């Protein structure tokens, strides 16, 4: 796991995941060093990951007061239940539907949950976290936020992009990624993660972008993109193109068989 602090008060825990045929997908969790520390998402749900141990190098887990779960997909919840044990004073910030989905895997104690909807705010001592739904999402539970101390936004899957190398996927600043690779990766991810974008009314979709542009965030923190500092307008300009991007079609069974054949041992029949 790669740890960085691209702006004061925010630590990124980056753990990219290679997706064959697509690229290296950034998978980030974040620590917001507020008066009441906030962990945003909890990493991949893979057996070899030790999220709480990695987190302990950044903040004492016992000091964590809030775990903001942007949505309950498995690449966001890996260390959730271990962190609840290590952080006995922490509550999980999610929606009613998010709590319900989590309960299909393992029940969340109701006294450890704080339900929050887009449009509402959470006071974390020295700032507020103002919840909103990002323009692109793959889960009806998705909730991002803008924190009022710096204006930075946390956008869950929105703005994600698979990148050509693992090194780029853990870059401390997205501007390290060549512009062509970044734009292509954003459009690919949008069509993979939010395929509904091809069937929505274009004018209605653009209306969902404008509130984020009006926030004028100095930094954008996406789960699936390196930190984006001072380039929000460029990210939003790519987002506007997504309804017109080519729809994603994944490999079929023939492609899978060809891939498996390429791994067959020499001399095998």
Q: What is the pLDDT tens value at each position of the chain, 269 positions in all?
A: 999 999 999 999 999 999 887 899 999 999 999 999 999 999 999 888 999 999 999 999 999 999 999 999 999 999 999 999 999 999 999 999 999 999 998 888 999 999 999 999 999 999 999 999 999 999 999 999 999 999 999 999 999 999 999 999 999 999 999 999 999 999 999 999 999 999 999 999 999 999 999 999 999 999 999 999 999 999 999 999 999 999 999 889 998 898 888 776 655 54
Number of compact structural domains in the chain: 1
| Interior/surface letters 119-129, b for 16+ CB within 10 angstroms, e for the rest | eeebebeebbb
C-beta of residue 145 within 8 angstroms of C-beta of residue 154: yes
Domain at 212, CATH number: 3.60.15.10
pLDDT attached to residue 256:
86
C-beta of residue 231 within 8 angstroms of C-beta of residue 174: yes
pLDDT attached to residue 146:
98
Q: Is residue 194 part of a domain?
A: yes
C-beta of residue 68 within 8 angstroms of C-beta of residue 118: no
Q: Is residue 196 part of a domain?
A: yes
How do 28-32 and 10-14 pair as beta strands?
A: antiparallel
Q: Is residue 158 part of a domain?
A: yes
pLDDT attached to residue 22:
87
Q: Is residue 241 part of a domain?
A: yes
Q: Is residue 50 part of a domain?
A: yes
Q: Is residue 267 part of a domain?
A: no
pLDDT attached to residue 107:
86
CB atoms within 10 A of CB 26: 29
Q: Is the dihedral of CA 240, 23, 160, 107 positive or negative?
A: positive
Q: Is residue 269 part of a domain?
A: no
What's the CA gap between 191 and 196, in Å, rounded?
8
C-beta of residue 27 within 8 angstroms of C-beta of residue 44: yes
Range of the structural domain that residue 148 is part of: 2-262
Residue 71 DSSP label: -
What's the CA gap between 1 and 85, in Å, rounded?
22
Q: In degrees to the nearest 10, what's the CA dihedral of 251, 177, 241, 218?
A: 130
pLDDT attached to residue 33:
98
In what side-by-side order are the strands of the sheet with 128-132? 121-123, 128-132, 144-147, 153-154, 219-221, 228-229
pLDDT attached to residue 266:
55
Q: Is residue 68 part of a domain?
A: yes
Q: What is the pTM of this model?
A: 0.94
């Amino acid at each position: 796991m790669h740890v960085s602090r691209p702006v004061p008060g925010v630590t990124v825990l980056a753990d990219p995941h290679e997706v064959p045929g697509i690229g290296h997908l950034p998978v980030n969790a974040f620590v917001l060093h507020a008066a009441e520390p906030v962990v945003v998402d909890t990493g991949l749900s893979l057996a070899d990951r030790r999220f709480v141990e990695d987190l302990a190098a950044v903040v004492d887990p016992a000091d964590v007061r809030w775990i903001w779960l942007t949505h309950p997909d498995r690449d966001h919840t890996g260390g959730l239940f271990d962190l609840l044990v290590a952080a006995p004073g922490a509550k999980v910030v999610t929606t009613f539907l998010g709590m319900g989905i989590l309960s299909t895997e393992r029940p969340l104690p109701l006294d450890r949950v704080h339900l929050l909807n887009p449009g509402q705010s959470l006071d974390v001592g020295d700032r507020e976290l103002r919840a909103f739904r990002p323009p692109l999402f793959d889960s009806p539970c998705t909730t991002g936020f803008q924190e009022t101390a710096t204006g930075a936004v946390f956008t869950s899957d929105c703005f994600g992009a698979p990148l050509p190398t693992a090194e780029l996927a853990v870059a401390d600043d997205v501007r390290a990624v060549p512009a062509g690779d970044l734009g292509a990766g954003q459009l690919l991810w949008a069509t993979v993660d939010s395929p509904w974008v091809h069937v929505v009314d274009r004018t209605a979709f653009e209306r969902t972008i404008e509130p984020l542009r009006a926030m004028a965030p100095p930094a954008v923190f996406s789960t699936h993109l390196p930190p984006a500092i001072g380039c929000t307008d460029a990210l939003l300009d790519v987002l506007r193109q997504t309804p017109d991007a080519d729809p994603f079609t994944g490999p079929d069974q023939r492609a899978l068989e060809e891939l498996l054949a390429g791994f067959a041992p020499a001399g095998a029949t």
